[in-house]
Structure 1
Amino acid sequence: MRKTDGLLKLLGLCVLAGVLVAGVLFPVAGAAGVMSNRASETVDNMSSELANVPPPLVTTVTDSAGAPIATLYKQYRLPTSPEQISPAMKWALVSVEDKRFYEHHGVDWKGTMRAAISNGTGGDTQGASTLTQQYVKNYLINVVNRPKSDSKEDQAEARIGREKAQEQSIARKLKEARIAIQLETKMNKDQILAGYLNVVEFSRQVFGIGAAAKTYFNTTPDKLTVGQAALLAGLVNNPNTFDPWNHPVAAKQRRDTVLQRMVDNNKLAPADAAKAKAEPLGVVPELQKPPANCSGAGPENGFFCQYVEDYLLKNGMTKDDLYTGGYTIKSTMDERANHEAKVSAETQVNKTQPNVANTLSLVKPGQDRHEVVALAANRDYGGDKDKGQTTYALPSGIWNVSGAGSSYKIFTAAAALQNHVLGIYSTMETPSFHVSPVFTGGGPNCPTVSRGTRAYCLSNASDSYGGQMSLQQALATSPNTGFVILEEKTGMGPIVDMASKLGMRDTMAGTISNGGKGDPNSSDPNKMTQSKFFAPTPNSPGQGSFTLGVSPTSGLELGNVAATILSHGKWCPPTPIGGITDRDGKPKQIKEAACEQVVEPALADTLAIGMSKDDQPGGTSAKAAGAAGWNRPIIGKTGTTQVSGSATFVAGTPQLAGAAMVFRPDSPNGGIIDGGPGNISAAKSTNGNMFGGGTPARTWFGAMKNILGDQPIEQLPGSAPQYERAGR
């Protein structure tokens, strides 16, 4: 090379280095001034964000006693303060990544110029980034440009952002350096070091030193040994290459390199380094990272965890906030009650029984809150169907598409009381067969009322009812004809409206086809809401089949109906939330629906007395109550759908209410065979022999007997004269 060529090259490199320094320290003058000012504003905002906005954290869901049951996260990260990080970890990282960390002010000028010169002369772009700069880079990759949703657009935008944050260019280095300099004016060195250690990934989607210490060594950051710290410090350079499980030899070599750097940096004695190098890697046998969703709550608690998530998303939280906010969510789940509910449901129906679900949802009555205490099913919560697992929200969602059967007679009775059609002791007609003069849409055995239209007709389950009885007796014995006649006298509008008032809100807003969200403006019967489908119109009196519970139903909402009645007519949303605190321990409020007095207390209390005979001799659940040794006053109503395809028992005491349901979740067409506890199956033929007084009642009484235990026996409220007999 000629001497002049060498001088020119040296001059060019000096100019390049000078431009780099100027670009870091000062805005560009002239025509680019406005752009530079905007860039400076962006840099300042970004440095403020790094200084003040923490990265995504794990949200913890607990039971009502505060015991953790599940973790929700997108990045497995456990927050760690500077004081909670061992000196060994700090010095291992500094020694291998930035030995002059405590001397520079965010940028190591020698290293930065070397990288710029290498890039400017056609060589590879070299790193030489300080830990502060690496903090900026990792924050941009793992926090700012992480996808906030599962949409393709968001995923694509995040990918582009991450690529820009990692591109090998002087422009990226400039921006990174400027943010680093700003950051060092807002955070001290220990805060920056802890910030970096909280953001960086340690392979296998484990983020931050807190999660890494637990995942790799089942310990905490303050207890990391020199050897453990060296291994983790070595990982951040290339997490996949130095993964100790997949590449133990490379991981050991990298760990030993870090130990030697600590010696070279006068942070570790040679003898101590030699001792640490002789140690095995010491990582746990398998990855310790917990499941990232409600599957971590286990087979019993998973359904409750899922309802917590569904409830929060319904009431204003976003999934990204829920999964990254670092919240502690104290649920209302009573672990013992949930366990007893699970045991009772599974005692009746085996968890692996094909196409039979048995659920129990329990709610605590109250004037200010209706707290959900248990959501259980015979099936386990999880993703392995062969093991009897499912992630369907069986106890809380609208998964029983066959319906709740005669449990819906509660709404007919309540509306009739409200409109003073009759009282609980009034006599009502209960013929063995009834052809409705009001409703149409019956089957081929019903008489024709006009061309192509048949009357609605039906019979009772047996001929043993007699021609008339009181409403209280009818609620206990459940004659079909009497309640259709009551619909004719009351009108479908108040009855359908009563179902929503007392608690079937999502159910009535769903469709009759599959329970999905209905369209109140649709004219398609399969797409409109149940409220619209069953209600009267100017040209129709409505659907008389409503009182027989023929449409998709939520077991939790049905249980909350009983809670509303036992709360003197006060409806409250069935909440699973006991309280929420954010990552700083401050309470977080959510927008829950307000409680409503949906019927007069006198009406609700009288209805409770009307429903108080179901477990007594002659009542539909009397056999199950007797077998359980039941001795408490309850309200109760059983229900069975056509061909015994599903059955329910909704009931409650003043302390606790709920609903048990058995149904076919996978193939709804057909019946269910009740062969006794542990011998329940989906019928191969059309008809079954399942009734609400069978499996559902046995499930409810079996759980409630143990849950209430030796709690005081509380009496039902008294009835009001104006609702005892018609005309008062």
Structure 2
Amino acid sequence: MSAQNSKPVGVFGAILGFLGFSALAGVLVTAMVTPAIAVTSLTANNTVGIFEDLPDYMVINQQSQRNTLWALQAGEQVPFAQIYDQNREEVAWDEVSQFAKDAAIAGEDERFYEHGGVDLAGIVRAAVNNITSSTTQGASTLSQQLVKNLLIQEALTYDTEEKRQAGLYAAQASTIDRKLKEAKLAIGLEKRSTKDEILLAYLNIAGFGGNTYGIESAAQQYYSTTAKDLTAAQAASLIGIVQAPPSRRPDIAENRERNQVRRDAILGNMAEQGMLTKEQYDEAIATPVDDTTVIVSAPRNGCLSASGAKHFCDYVIRNVKNLEALGTTEEERAENWKRGGYDIYTTVDLDQQAHAEQVLAIQTPADEARFELGAAISTVEVGTGRIVIMAQNKLFDNSGEGGGPSTTAVNFNTDREYGQSSGFQTGSTYKLFTLVNWLQNGHGLREVVDGNVKGYSSFPANCQGGTMELADPYKPNNFTRTSAGRVSVQTATNQSINAAFINMASKLDLCDIRETAKSMGVHRADGDELLIYPSAILGTNEIAPLTIANAYATVASGGILCEPIAVDKVVDANGTEFEGQPQKCNKAISPEVAAAAATALKGVMDRGGTGSASNPGDGTALLGKTGTTDDSLQTWVATASTKVASAVWVGNIVGSQVMSRVELASGNANTARHRIMKPVQTALDGSPLYATTADFPEPPPELIRGSTQSVPNVTGQSVDQARSVIQSLGLAFSDGGTIASELPAGRVASTQPGAGARVSKGTLVRVFTSDGSLSATVPNVVGTQVKDALKTLNDEGFTSVSVKWTPSVPPDKCEVIASDPAGGTATSKSTAVTLTVNGGVIVPDEDPDC
């Protein structure tokens, strides 16, 4: 460096410094003049050979810069986060104040435009100074300093700490070898680059304290301005930092005097070299370096410093490995991201995001102390997968210290890979996939299923050998704790009847239902395979809100699954624009099935449906589904218009607090999901970007009525005959065992559902056979006394016998004259038998004395 360092040295040290500089100067002079003179000295020849063998090629590469995340706000793209390895923003020549360019020359290399990379006169002058003065003086030119900084930056990119440290030492070692290499590279640099290019590169690479590099970032940090707008005083102050950043950076109060001393020296050099007029110099030198002039803007690095959408910011960073614009491999993308200079234009709507965060803060306070209350909402654009909202109640903090119980670095909306969350049980929002598979199998919404609470011992499961046999019958309760009877699938969906959906699953295939969910983009947040146990039908898989929102968007889009994306486009440091995350959309379910599912789910959001409390009632057509897990540990609601789909989760982050037993400031915790979804949906519906008057398409009639069949009358048939008839109609047969019946033993006595009932294809018909225990022949009791007749009938097992009296002459009194059924009739012991008996003289309201 050309400026002086006040550092006392001994005579011995000064002599060594002189000899070192002299040797270096000798080598450089010899090397430079060798082409023009004959060198006969062996020493000279060896010296020149050593110099000529050194590398002389170095490229001024792009240095590590800031990456900036952009998002939509008030209809415009605005930056909301900066991510960088080094706080640097490279600027062009015309974006740097002339004062800064002149200050760099006046302070670091007065003969910059005169030498060829190495200032021999400066070396000699420094050598003489160092042996005759109590201060040391450097002789590195701006070109040499640039070379040194380039080598330092290169060393910082090495993949191991050992290599980095070795590289840093090699770039800064106080040895003749290192100085020779630096000088040779500086000379080569001057041959390949213009002076202005070298000066600009130096200004963009120089360190200004801490993690701040380059004149633009320094101007922003220390004076809250830009490199282009630096005054003479500010420019000289910044250049004054580079020799000793720790002791001269002006954001630290005790450094300001030292900074001003160095600044004033640079201003003096600028004035002497005609870079400043007297008026400019007088104004600059009179400017203090104190609180009135140093206006610090602390670097805002990372998502913790983002102006909004901090968890979404973290999600974007975790997706860098997927951004093809940054390279062909994950390793290349990571390296290019570290180098920086990218503008990342994201999908999030900061206005909708801020509103959602505000609603969450009111309804689900981050500082709730009684239990670990969590809440999150994800909103995606239907038909594109663009993430519009990704908000949660806990504030973002990924610092080592953390921010207390109201903060977290975990993103509740995402999978473990992209936010460290393992997801949450989804409750009945998962019923969507049984509904869709039901429709895929040709069933309809008006088909009637069994909503009664009962046990199931097996389920069809093609990936489990055809059937999943259960050790204990699965018998889930309904939310109301009562049986619902036989209900239509539409009603079962509207009221979220558990038993009805289990009955539907028993007619389908558990493995097929899982495949339907997977085809709609559903996966566990922890990366494991989706469970297929019967309980999974009711939502025991742990899934992220973003995944659930996107599944409902698949229905709303007419069956098209679009993978969620967070980045629209990428612009690199050269201004080249690239595609962000490509929209990957494919047909997941047929448009007809999607339309029928949407019709069913619209009923959920209408009056009387479980999701109606989330419906703003503003005329926007909405589909949706609620979900509540056992004991109300987790609560959900998912909605979708034809423009956007959202999923709200409110529940236990950890722990087992029953949500319905907790009162929050805004109401019961079990219904907080509705108090979140409704205002968020209202804001979306009111935005020109997401408002829509479009309704969902009408489904084909066959998916409304479905495929139904009357249960046949097989009473009196054999079991094999009944099985054949029932199965031929597409119904499932089950032997219900024997019951008491008058029919011959082994014959069908009854079915459940009963004969004539309309049921859907695949419905299980339980067949009950007679045990013959109620079959009997009416004994002939005509001509006997009534008392004896009653005893005879009772002994034969008849349980319903009545007497009808008729007037008669006294000798015939009490004699049975007829029976109905007549004696000898084959019938059931439960059949009512009526005896007609002579009663003599009949007295009203009195039975004859028999």
TM over 0.5, yes or no?
yes
Alignment equivalent of 1:699, drawn from 665, 676, 695 = 676
Summarize the alignment of residues 681-720 of structure 1 with structure 2, pairs less than 5 Å apart.
Answer: 691=670, 694-709=671-686, 711-720=691-700
Alignment equivalent of 2:373, drawn from 351, 356, 370 = 356
**1:428 matched to which residue of 2?**
449
**2:260 matched to which residue of 1?**
252
Could you report, residue by residue, the CA deviation over 1:201-232 in whole angstroms, capped at 9, with x for unpaired residues?
11132111111111111112222111111111
The secondary structure found in structure 1 opposite 2:491 is helix
Alignment equivalent of 1:145, drawn from 147, 155, 158 = 155
**2:648 matched to which residue of 1?**
660
Alignment equivalent of 1:160, drawn from 144, 154, 166 = 166
**2:591 matched to which residue of 1?**
601
In the alignment, structure 2 segments of 5+ residues that lack a partner are: 1-16, 36-42, 327-332, 462-468, 709-850
**1:231 matched to which residue of 2?**
237
Checking the alignment, whether the CA contact within 8 Å between 2:569 and 2:581 is kept in structure 1 is: no
The structure-2 alpha-carbon separation of the partners of 1:132 and 1:462, relative to structure 1 and needing over 3 Å to count, comes to same
Instruction: State the percentage of identical aligned residues.
Output: 27
The secondary structure found in structure 2 opposite 1:101 is coil
The structure-2 alpha-carbon separation of the partners of 1:415 and 1:119, relative to structure 1 and needing over 3 Å to count, comes to farther
- 1:365 and 2:382 correspond: yes
Checking the alignment, whether the CA contact within 8 Å between 2:22 and 2:127 is kept in structure 1 is: no
**1:280 matched to which residue of 2?**
288
Summarize the alignment of residues 169-568 of structure 1 with structure 2, pairs less than 5 Å apart.
Answer: 169-246=175-252, 247-269=255-277, 272-281=280-289, 287-298=296-307, 300-316=308-324, 317=326, 318-354=333-369, 355-366=372-383, 369-382=384-397, 385-386=403-404, 388-397=406-415, 399=421, 401-420=423-442, 422-438=443-459, 453-463=471-481, 466-504=484-522, 507-508=523-524, 510=525, 515=526, 517=527, 529-531=528-530, 534=531, 542-568=532-558
The structure-2 alpha-carbon separation of the partners of 1:608 and 1:456, relative to structure 1 and needing over 3 Å to count, comes to same
Task: Please give the alpha-carbon distance, in whole angstroms, between the structure 1 residues aligned to 2:684 and 2:433.
Answer: 28
The structure-2 alpha-carbon separation of the partners of 1:630 and 1:642, relative to structure 1 and needing over 3 Å to count, comes to farther
**2:565 matched to which residue of 1?**
575
Letter in 1 for 2:317: E
**2:790 matched to which residue of 1?**
none
Checking the alignment, whether the CA contact within 8 Å between 1:605 and 1:717 is kept in structure 2 is: yes
**1:537 matched to which residue of 2?**
none
Checking the alignment, whether the CA contact within 8 Å between 1:362 and 1:375 is kept in structure 2 is: yes
TM-score under structure 1 normalisation?
0.82
The secondary structure found in structure 2 opposite 1:575 is coil
- 1:638 and 2:626 correspond: yes
- 1:188 deviates by 1.4
- 1:567 deviates by 0.9
The structure-2 alpha-carbon separation of the partners of 1:11 and 1:458, relative to structure 1 and needing over 3 Å to count, comes to closer
The structure-2 alpha-carbon separation of the partners of 1:35 and 1:353, relative to structure 1 and needing over 3 Å to count, comes to farther
The secondary structure found in structure 2 opposite 1:588 is strand
Task: Please give the alpha-carbon distance, in whole angstroms, between the structure 1 residues aligned to 2:386 and 2:34.
Answer: 60
Moved more, 125-134 or 176-185: 125-134
Task: Please give the alpha-carbon distance, in whole angstroms, between the structure 2 residues aligned to 1:128 and 1:572.
Answer: 62
Task: Please give the alpha-carbon distance, in whole angstroms, between the structure 2 residues aligned to 1:712 and 1:659.
Answer: 19
The structure-2 alpha-carbon separation of the partners of 1:251 and 1:62, relative to structure 1 and needing over 3 Å to count, comes to same
Task: Please give the alpha-carbon distance, in whole angstroms, between the structure 1 residues aligned to 2:221 and 2:21.
Answer: 46
Q: Which protein, 1 or 2, shows the higher relative CO under an 8 Å CA cutoff with sep ≥ 6? A: 1
Rg comparison, structure with higher value: 2
Checking the alignment, whether the CA contact within 8 Å between 2:613 and 2:678 is kept in structure 1 is: no
Task: Please give the alpha-carbon distance, in whole angstroms, between the structure 2 residues aligned to 1:720 and 1:26.
Answer: 92
Task: Please give the alpha-carbon distance, in whole angstroms, between the structure 1 residues aligned to 2:164 and 2:23.
Answer: 36
Could you report, residue by residue, the CA deviation over 1:440-478 in whole angstroms, capped at 9, with x for unpaired residues?
9xxxxxxxx99xx43333211114552222222212211
The structure-2 alpha-carbon separation of the partners of 1:163 and 1:430, relative to structure 1 and needing over 3 Å to count, comes to same
In the alignment, structure 1 segments of 5+ residues that lack a partner are: 1-8, 441-448, 518-528, 535-541, 681-688
Could you report, residue by residue, the CA deviation over 1:60-87 in whole angstroms, capped at 9, with x for unpaired residues?
1111331111111111112221122222
Matched length? 652
TM-score under structure 2 normalisation?
0.71
- 1:620 and 2:610 correspond: yes
- 1:724 and 2:711 correspond: no
Query: Over aligned residues, Cα RMSD in angstroms?
Result: 3.4
Alignment equivalent of 1:102, drawn from 91, 113, 124 = 113
- 1:413 deviates by 1.4
Task: Please give the alpha-carbon distance, in whole angstroms, between the structure 1 residues aligned to 2:396 and 2:280.
Answer: 49
Letter in 1 for 2:457: S
Moved more, 28-37 or 338-347: 28-37
Instruction: Considering fraction of residues, name the structure with more strand.
Output: 2
Task: Please give the alpha-carbon distance, in whole angstroms, between the structure 1 residues aligned to 2:404 and 2:19.
Answer: 73
Letter in 1 for 2:299: P
**2:746 matched to which residue of 1?**
none
The secondary structure found in structure 1 opposite 2:605 is coil
The structure-2 alpha-carbon separation of the partners of 1:674 and 1:375, relative to structure 1 and needing over 3 Å to count, comes to farther
Moved more, 654-663 or 277-286: 277-286
Checking the alignment, whether the CA contact within 8 Å between 2:614 and 2:677 is kept in structure 1 is: no
Checking the alignment, whether the CA contact within 8 Å between 1:17 and 1:117 is kept in structure 2 is: no
Letter in 2 for 1:411: F
The structure-2 alpha-carbon separation of the partners of 1:30 and 1:614, relative to structure 1 and needing over 3 Å to count, comes to farther
Letter in 1 for 2:379: L
Checking the alignment, whether the CA contact within 8 Å between 1:60 and 1:328 is kept in structure 2 is: yes
